[in-house]
Structures are given as structure tokens and as C-alpha cells.
Amino acid sequence: MDRIMREDMELAAASPAVEWEKLAGRTVLVTGATGLIGRQLVLALLHADRLRGLSLRVLAVVRSREKAERLFAELAGAPGLQYVVQDVQEPLHIAEPVDYIVHGASVTDSKAFVEQPVETIWTVLAGSRNLLEFAREKQVRGMVFLSTMEVYGTPDPSLPCVTEKDFGYLNPSEVRSSYPEAKRLTECLCASYAKEYGVPVTVARLTQTFGAGVSYSDNRVFAQFARCVMEKKDIVLRTEGTTVRNYLYTREAVVSLLVLLTKGAPGEAYNVANSDISVSIREMAELVAASFPEAGIRVTFDLAADAGALGYAPPFVMRLNTDKLAALGYRPEMGLREMYERMIAGMSEEA
């Protein structure tokens, strides 16, 4: 871990919003454990174990042991960490009891949504069904499924904000819909398992999340902007950048998921975002350029003839209402500029 992420994990482990006592002596299974959020969730749990003496265990489901051992090098030999090496599209066979599950394994590369839509769909659907069946078998105490704000499609632009009940237009015939449609159906599957089988699963509809822990090689738009600062290159937008959304810092996403794991209502969905951050992609690019004047960069445009072919979602305006999460005792607060400062500081150590 770099210095910034280590500080973040200590802060996450100290959060008073999580009902940590529920995790004492328990086993937590995390899928997608080598991903951006999954990795930090594992780290936060093990930091909390050390800080609070919880005697908890973490089963990290990974596809590559080598990658996992590299990302969790500082935890080598930690008694509370165990790897489960497999693809979530295969059923899980774990003999020991499992008390909690956070299911985050998914395709996240937007280009894959249009180039490998079938694989995108089945990774979400088959993997989630396996995890829900496993949760049913183990009679877990709590489970969180990581969904996405993209399930809302294109919301009604007249809405001042989008609550958990406000769904907009989504065209199932477009291959780019492979990701949000798969997440939508899985949310229905979660609600159905909660209703029919009593599986205590909660859905987290995450907005776009970044911060400490983002790899220098990450190709998502926020990482591209950060690299432009570091390499002193102009930010080049391939669209008009009119899409407006909320953003969320990685540590605050981790704490939100732990709040939902210990306090969330089974069968319910929660928007997870910093509702105070609501900017267009173009505004964010301009903020980044202005916030780091030493880089001497500006925002330019090279508009793509077909943005959809690059994996970009259609333009939309979506301001998420997070009152439901706040009612559980947690509200993310980190601003966009500090998010970039901490992400760039972490990426600089990696570079």
C-alpha cells in the first residue's frame, strides 16, 4: 500500500458509522477482491480486525493467486486472510461457515460492454446466482451486492434528483446495455432471494468511484485526467462531456458498503454517492486543469464519430438522492479536488 491508501484504511477501520461488533468472530467473504473497491474492503476489514481485536476472518475470492499475493503483499501470512481462487461463474464449495458476503466481482471496463457483451452479462448473472445460492446455503447474516447507478438508464431530466424508485429509459437492444441490464436483472434476483428464501441481501447502487488505490494504468476517465496532470499533457475529451453525475471517494465507498452490510435492510437498494458532488465530465476536466496549474494543461476536444463504439454511455444528467443511506448514519463528504489530490499522490508513488 502507498502512504495515502494506508491512511485511508486506518480511517475506514476507525469509522463509527459501521456496527463493527456484528463482525466480531465472523467470516466475511469478498468477491472481486483484487478490484479497486474489493481490495480496499479487504484491507479495511483486516485493519479493523487489528485495531479493534475483532477476530474476524476474510475469504478473498480471486481469479489469480499471483495477483492477489502481489496486491496484499503487506498481509503475507496474516492469519485472518485466506484466498479462494476461482471464477465466480463456477459454484462455490467452501466447507467452513461464512457469515457475511460482499459480492463485487464484475466486468468494469466500459469497452468490454460493447466488445464482449455476452461475457459481461453472464459474469454478472451467473456469478450473482452462484453467490446468492451460496448465501442461502450458508444462511448468512448479511450480504451486499455491488450494483451501479447505470441501472437508472437515462432519467427524467425534470427530476431534481434520482431516488431509489426513479427509473428512466434504457434500450435493451443496444449492446452497451449489457452491463446495466445485467445489473438490473440481478437486483431483481436479489429481491427475489430475499423474499422467497430469506437471504438478507442488500443492493448498493454505486456512482463512479475513485481515489487512492487507482492504478496508474487504469483507463477510466478519472485516471486519464490524473495522468494528464502527472504527464503535463492536455486533457482531450472525445465527447462534449455533457453527462452529469455524482462521484465518490474510494474510502467512503468502502465505509458505505460496510454500513450497508451491518445496517442495510434485506431486499432494499441504496444509492451510494456523495450527493454534494454533481458535475459534468467537461466541468470535472476543467476543474482538474485549474486545480493543478503547475501542470500547465488545458481542456481540448477531439470528438469521436461514434462514442458508443468506444463504450461511452449515452449522455445523461443524474443527481443521486442519498437520504436513504444517510438515514443509516453515514454521509460521504470528500470533495472532488481532494479526491484528485489523493489519487494523484497515490499514483505518483506507483509511477
The share of the chain scoring above pLDDT 90, in percent, equals 89
DSSP lists the bridge partners of residue 146 as 204
Q: Is the model's pLDDT at 309 over the cut of 80?
A: no
CA 102 centroid distance within chain: 11
Taking only the tens place, the pLDDT of each residue in 251-307 is: 999 999 999 999 999 999 999 999 999 999 999 999 999 999 999 999 999 998 887
Q: 6: Cβ–Cβ under 8 A, 6 or more apart, which residues?
A: none
Give the Cα separation of 92 and 132 in Å (integer): 10
Query: Where are the alpha helices (H) located in 139-220, listed in sequence order?
Result: 178-197
Angle, vertex CA 237, rays to CA 340 and CA 162, nearest 5: 65
The full DSSP string for 183-197 is: HHHHHHHHHHHHHHH
Which one-letter amino acid corresponds to residue 339?
M
Phi/psi for 48 (5° steps) reads -65, -35
Integer CA distances (angstroms), 76 to 31, 69, 237, in order: 19, 7, 41
Q: Could you tell me the pLDDT band of residue 2, with boundaries at 50, 70 and 90?
A: confident
Per-residue pLDDT band at 109 (split at 50, 70, 90): confident
pLDDT band at 351 (very low <50, low <70, confident <90, very high): low
Q: Is pLDDT at 312 greater than 80 in this prediction? A: no
| Residue of 79, 8, 19, 83 lying closest to 43 (CA atoms) | 8
Mean pLDDT value across the chain: 95
Per-residue pLDDT averaged across 206-231, rounded?
Answer: 94
Q: What is the pLDDT of residues 134-159, one digit of tens each?
A: 999 999 999 999 999 999 999 998 89
d(CA 337, CA 1): 22
Amino acid type, 272 = V
> What is the structure's pLDDT at 297?
97
